[in-house]
Chain A
Amino acid sequence: MFAVLQASPSTPLDAVVEVAQAFTPRFQVLGPFVLLDVGGLSALFGTPEELGGAMRAACPTCRAVALATRASAALLLACGHEGLTVLAPAAEQAALADLPIDVLIEVTQARLAASAPVAAAPAPSPSAPGTATTLAPSAGWRHPRDTHQAHHTRRPRARTAASADLRQALMALQQCGATLRRWGITRLGGLAALPRPDVHARLGDLGVAWQRLAAGEDDEPLVPWLAEPVFEDLVELEWPIEGFEPLSFVLARVLEPLAARLERADRGAVAIRTALHLTTRQAHVRVIPLPAPMRDPKTLRTLVLLDLESHPPAAAVDRVQVRLEPTPGRVLQWTLFERAQPAPEQVATLMARLTALMGEGRVGSPALVDAWRPGSCAMAPFAPATADGPSRGETGHVRSGDDRGPRAAPAQAALPLAFRRFRLPIPVRVRVDDGRPARLTTDRRGVTGGAIVQAAGPWRTSGEWWATALEREPGVASRESDEHRREAHGWSARDADPRFPGSDAWQGVAALADTVTRVPTRSQPWDRDEWDIAMSDGTVYRLFVEREVGQWFLEGVFD
């Protein structure tokens, strides 16, 4: 025995699902319909009429409640009749035969909508410390087939193709319905009475499926929906803890059961939400998006601890709450002809540790910037899983499958000449003879001074002279200049010098540097002449002079 509840504009689908859950755990959502397996409920609710009455009483605003011996019949009856419909088994065929053809379209659309893929939710972004962040709520319910094959590994192109298939199927439904109307068939009984081979010859598989549906035959079994578990745990501490070491044990106690539950549910975590309730009655909330679904408790704990070390709570912790945002498990299948990629857990842990050690923005993959300013570069996330392989045009080499022998190395006639760039150009004094640099003087340790035995240049380069006057205002320029220098030189608060209380070391550096040199910054125009010079000891430098102020700098050394 099956029952169908149909949602109405006044009764949303979630409310209908709650009603269905109150009667049986075996139910399936098909578009606006909720199909219930009510077999075996007679002991609780009595006859089918009494059961239908109980369901109608539980959901009085539903558009339709129908009970039948077969799922297809119940769906068709719910489409065709409003209110409560309970039929005896002997009367089902007659009741179905009087239904219009349009109910076939409606039922088929509901089944197609239920099988359509769901777009993946965007990954949460990391939150600032001390701010409350709300994760996107889970769907709550999921289809059992909503696994990695159907959800996670399906690429956008595949989803687009599936949507196109759905639109095409809906158009086919309308065409098939129009064809039946042209034949004069407006009721299900007329379609069910047609010879099946002829229907297949004229309408194809869809016509046969509709004919079976019109006869009340079930093509698909009921696939019960499962409740999406919430992976969240809370630990109340008897005494507040302050250090990270005791917090590590608490996190292990929280995360290990959660990871075990994830594994049992074939799920992985895509985000960790850690809420530390402090003794100051504030909540320190951190959300860590993970680069790939993972459920290793040690990795999760390490990531949480490293993040908390970078963003420590302001007071002692008396309650720890961890919530893992689940996603279907992932299946890795790479090609046999390329090198195995490192595990995302390894990479995520490594990047978290390096970031905690070196600072934000100091770890990643180098990236090129489409700019003419010398030394322009950027930092991209280091993601081996998405790193493209080298191409012939990118590297000039041909990839080789054998990496263990000398023959695997790309053959080169000469090594490329490397350049070591001074991020902060070194100011030097240069004596110019006949318009060419002749002698270089500097007191910088590690930089060679003396006679310049050979020089090539000058090559003039300029840019940003088109910058607006607003960008050149002293206040704006100086602020951006300071930020740029901090960024370029990696200064952070941790480098504050104890001998300069109340200010970090950068302020002292900037003050000293500004009195000695003028360094071109990001928003300022540059106009300079570059020289390649060879010193008497063979060191080859890139030298340039700022034409506006006549100051010489060393940009780097060829090595």
Chain B
Amino acid sequence: MAPSSSAAVLSLLQHHKLDRTLTSVARLTPPVSAPLGYPLLDQRLLGGVPRGQLSEVVGPASSGRTSLAWAALAAATARGEWGALIDTFDRFDPDRAAAAGLVLSRVLWVRGQALSKTHGALDPAWIPGERSVQGPGTLLERTLDRAIKALNLVAQSGVCTMVVLDLIDAPAQALARVPRSTWLRLQRVVEGTEIALLLLAATPVARSAGGLSIQTGVGNQEPGPGTREPGAGSLRMERRGVSHAGPVGTTVRWKGVHDRTRRLGGLSTRVRAASPRGYVGDLPLAIG
């Protein structure tokens, strides 16, 4: 193809925002990132969470997912930016977040519904395999729908440059019912902006082609010594002094050896990041 023809095709693709489908074409603008505030991780991620992209942080419970999101928000607010937290199930704790370094006055907190057990009794959709067919949707679906709509509004406004959507406690069945086009539309909303969109979930949900996927709580392929309990899956168990391993690659650190003086010291976990800009691999991460 002649250079003029290829330039015309490239220009047409760029006009329709389809140039990202060409893997051989170099980016016209240098990638910019929002640092997470953790130097080792930021260095390996080539700067942090990419702006203008949809990234995700996934992993099991107590593996540092929320800590990473708080770190990203704290770093953004410390730089003078404004952050937004779409708290789908109202799990945010401002007291500890302020102690963690978040500038609360620079955080837009959108509180969702705190669903409880009785919601499950009222809403069969919370039970796997069941779904209400009457009305405008189940309570859980409405909660997720509102959270995604709120995320869309925040992203479209451009007020906040670090936007976090917390879907950690959403059942996988409910997330699977969210149309894929929703995430594509969100990615198109933030594309070309300096907004870094971060999705928190227990399992991988969605990320854009230029986004980042960070999996917390990953570890060695070979499980170490320990016991295995029914229902624990591939989780590794061990008791070693005053610490023990939880999810694969996650270790709970305790301070103090005596029962009466012991207190929680933090978590030591490993994260694995997949980035289109390069393989990151596993990284140790100290939390707390």
B113's contact among A397, A416, A453, A490, by CB below 8 Å, is which? A490
Enumerate chain B residues within 8 angstroms of A417, measured Cβ to Cβ. 67, 100, 264, 266-267, 287-288
Enumerate chain A residues within 8 angstroms of B94, measured Cβ to Cβ. 366-368, 377
Q: Mark A382-412, 1 if CB is under 8 A from B, else 0.
A: 1010011110001111111001111011111
Q: With an 8 A cutoff between CB atoms, is A172 at the interface?
A: no
Q: Quick check: B95 and A368 within 8 Å, CB to CB?
A: yes
Q: Which of B79, B154, B159, B267 has the most CB of A within 10 A?
A: B79
Query: In the complex, what's the smallest C-beta–C-beta distance from B134 to chain A, in angstroms?
Result: 7
A446's contact among B35, B139, B142, B169, by CB below 8 Å, is which? B169
Cα A389 to Cα B168 with chains together (Å)? 30
Interface-lining segment among A115-123, A197-205, A278-286, A356-364: A356-364
Q: Mark A336-347, 1 if CB is under 8 A from B, else 0.
A: 001100100011
**A418-B96 contact given A390-B78, A411-B39, A559-B61, CB 8 Å threshold:** yes
**A410-B157 contact given A405-B47, A446-B169, A489-B113, CB 8 Å threshold:** no
Q: With an 8 A cutoff between CB atoms, is A421 at the interface?
A: yes
Query: In the complex, what's the smallest C-beta–C-beta distance from A384 to chain B, in angstroms?
Result: 6
Cα A559 to Cα B108 with chains together (Å)? 21
Interface-lining segment among A43-51, A317-325, A536-544: A536-544
Q: Quick check: A539 and B62 within 8 Å, CB to CB?
A: yes
Q: Quick check: A354 and B244 within 8 Å, CB to CB?
A: no
Q: Quick check: A403 and B106 within 8 Å, CB to CB?
A: no
Q: A411-B37, A423-B91 are in contact. List 11 more A-B contacts (CB 8 A).
A: A339-B81, A368-B98, A395-B78, A403-B34, A409-B36, A410-B75, A416-B288, A450-B229, A516-B117, A536-B229, A538-B247
Q: Quick check: A358 and B263 within 8 Å, CB to CB?
A: no
Q: Quick check: A424 and B116 within 8 Å, CB to CB?
A: yes
Q: With an 8 A cutoff between CB atoms, is A206 at the interface?
A: no
Enumerate chain A residues within 8 angstroms of B54, measured Cβ to Cβ. none
Q: Mark B125-163, 1 if CB is under 8 A from A, else 0.
A: 011000000110001001000100110011001110000
Q: With an 8 A cutoff between CB atoms, is A349 at the interface?
A: yes
Q: With an 8 A cutoff between CB atoms, is A522 at the interface?
A: no
Among residues 23 to 76 in chain B, which have CB atoms less than 8 Å away from a CB atom of chain A? Answer: 32-39, 42-43, 46-48, 60-71, 74-75
Q: Quick check: B171 and A419 within 8 Å, CB to CB?
A: no
Q: Quick check: B106 and A390 within 8 Å, CB to CB?
A: yes
Residue pairs across A and B with Cβ atoms less than 8 A apart, 24 shown, are A358-B146, A366-B92, A366-B104, A384-B159, A388-B103, A390-B103, A404-B32, A416-B71, A416-B100, A416-B288, A418-B93, A420-B66, A424-B114, A426-B116, A453-B237, A489-B114, A489-B116, A491-B113, A499-B122, A537-B246, A537-B247, A538-B61, A540-B264, A559-B67
Cα A404 to Cα B47 with chains together (Å)? 8
Q: Mark A509-538, 1 if CB is under 8 A from B, else 0.
A: 100110010000000000000001011111
Enumerate chain B residues within 8 angstroms of A163, measured Cβ to Cβ. none
Enumerate chain A residues within 8 angstroms of B75, measured Cβ to Cβ. 397, 409-410
Q: Which residue of B lies closest to A374 (CB)?
A: B95
B252's contact among A498, A513, A538, A557, by CB below 8 Å, is which? A538
Enumerate chain B residues within 8 angstroms of A536, measured Cβ to Cβ. 229, 232, 237
Cα A499 to Cα B122 with chains together (Å)? 9
Q: Mark B232-247, 1 if CB is under 8 A from A, else 0.
A: 1001010100101111
Q: With an 8 A cutoff between CB atoms, is B188 at the interface?
A: no
Q: With an 8 A cutoff between CB atoms, is B286 at the interface?
A: yes
Q: With an 8 A cutoff between CB atoms, is B99 at the interface?
A: yes
Q: Mark A368-386, 1 if CB is under 8 A from B, else 0.
A: 1000000111011010100
Enumerate chain A residues within 8 angstroms of B232, measured Cβ to Cβ. 536-537
Q: With an 8 A cutoff between CB atoms, is B175 at the interface?
A: no
Q: Quick check: A412 and B37 within 8 Å, CB to CB?
A: yes
Q: Which residue of A lies closest to B93 (CB)?
A: A421
Q: With an 8 A cutoff between CB atoms, is A331 at the interface?
A: no
Q: With an 8 A cutoff between CB atoms, is A138 at the interface?
A: no
Query: In the complex, what's the smallest C-beta–C-beta distance from B12 to chain A, in angstroms?
Result: 30
Q: With an 8 A cutoff between CB atoms, is A444 at the interface?
A: yes
Q: With an 8 A cutoff between CB atoms, is B262 at the interface?
A: yes
Q: Quick check: A423 and B79 within 8 Å, CB to CB?
A: no
**A403-B80 contact given A397-B101, A410-B37, A418-B70, CB 8 Å threshold:** yes
B153's contact among A354, A397, A411, A443, by CB below 8 Å, is which? A354
Query: Which residues of B pack against A, CB within 8 Å?
Result: 32-39, 42-43, 46-48, 60-71, 74-75, 77-82, 90-114, 116-122, 126-127, 134-135, 139, 142, 146, 149-150, 153-154, 157-159, 168-169, 171, 217, 229, 231-232, 235, 237, 239, 242, 244-247, 250, 252, 254, 256, 259, 262-264, 266-267, 285-288
B108's contact among A365, A394, A488, by CB below 8 Å, is which? A365
Q: Which bracket fits the contact residues of A?
A: 35 or more
Query: In the complex, what's the smallest C-beta–C-beta distance from A240 to chain B, in angstroms?
Result: 28
Cα A556 to Cα B97 with chains together (Å)? 14
Q: Nearest 6 pairs between A and B by C-beta?
A: A538-B246, A409-B35, A417-B288, A416-B100, A366-B94, A418-B66
Enumerate chain B residues within 8 angstroms of A516, measured Cβ to Cβ. 117
Q: Quick check: B108 and A363 within 8 Å, CB to CB?
A: yes
Q: Which residue of B lies closest to A347 (CB)?
A: B159
Cα A426 to Cα B100 with chains together (Å)? 25
Enumerate chain A residues within 8 angstroms of B79, measured Cβ to Cβ. 339, 399-400, 403, 408-409
Q: Quick check: B157 and A346 within 8 Å, CB to CB?
A: yes
Cα A497 to Cα B104 with chains together (Å)? 35
A456's contact among B66, B139, B263, by CB below 8 Å, is which? B263
Enumerate chain B residues within 8 angstroms of A376, measured Cβ to Cβ. 95
Query: In the complex, what's the smallest C-beta–C-beta distance from B44 to chain A, in angstroms?
Result: 10
A358's contact among B93, B100, B150, by CB below 8 Å, is which? B150
Q: Quick check: B65 and A559 within 8 Å, CB to CB?
A: yes
Enumerate chain B residues within 8 angstroms of A346, measured Cβ to Cβ. 157-159
Q: Quick check: A415 and B118 within 8 Å, CB to CB?
A: no
Enumerate chain B residues within 8 angstroms of A382, measured Cβ to Cβ. 108-109
Enumerate chain A residues within 8 angstroms of B32, measured Cβ to Cβ. 404
A412's contact among B38, B93, B110, by CB below 8 Å, is which? B38
Enumerate chain B residues within 8 angstroms of A513, measured Cβ to Cβ. 116, 118
Q: With an 8 A cutoff between CB atoms, is A353 at the interface?
A: yes
Q: Quick check: B266 and A498 within 8 Å, CB to CB?
A: no
Q: Quick check: A556 and B93 within 8 Å, CB to CB?
A: yes
Enumerate chain A residues within 8 angstroms of B114, measured Cβ to Cβ. 422-424, 488-490
Cα A557 to Cα B146 with chains together (Å)? 24
Enumerate chain B residues within 8 angstroms of A405, measured Cβ to Cβ. 35, 47
Q: Which residue of A lies closest to B243 (CB)?
A: A454
Q: Quick check: B107 and A397 within 8 Å, CB to CB?
A: no
Query: In the complex, what's the smallest C-beta–C-beta distance from A459 to chain B, in angstroms?
Result: 9
Q: With an 8 A cutoff between CB atoms, is A350 at the interface?
A: yes
Q: Quick check: B287 and A414 within 8 Å, CB to CB?
A: yes
**A399-B80 contact given A354-B150, A414-B286, CB 8 Å threshold:** yes
Query: In the complex, what's the smallest C-beta–C-beta distance from A391 to chain B, in angstroms?
Result: 9
**A394-B103 contact given A375-B93, A414-B288, A559-B62, CB 8 Å threshold:** yes
Q: Which residue of B lies closest to A512 (CB)?
A: B118
Q: Which residue of A lies closest to B227 (CB)?
A: A536
Q: Quick check: B107 and A366 within 8 Å, CB to CB?
A: yes
B38's contact among A377, A394, A415, A495, by CB below 8 Å, is which? A415
Q: Quick check: A414 and B104 within 8 Å, CB to CB?
A: no
Q: Mark A41-73, 1 if CB is under 8 A from B, else 0.
A: 000000000000000000000000000000000
Q: With an 8 A cutoff between CB atoms, is A558 at the interface?
A: yes
Query: In the complex, what's the smallest C-beta–C-beta distance from A500 to chain B, in angstroms?
Result: 8
A416's contact among B90, B101, B117, B264, by CB below 8 Å, is which? B101
Enumerate chain B residues within 8 angstroms of A537, measured Cβ to Cβ. 60-61, 229, 232, 235, 246-247
**A415-B68 contact given A366-B92, A423-B90, A539-B62, CB 8 Å threshold:** yes
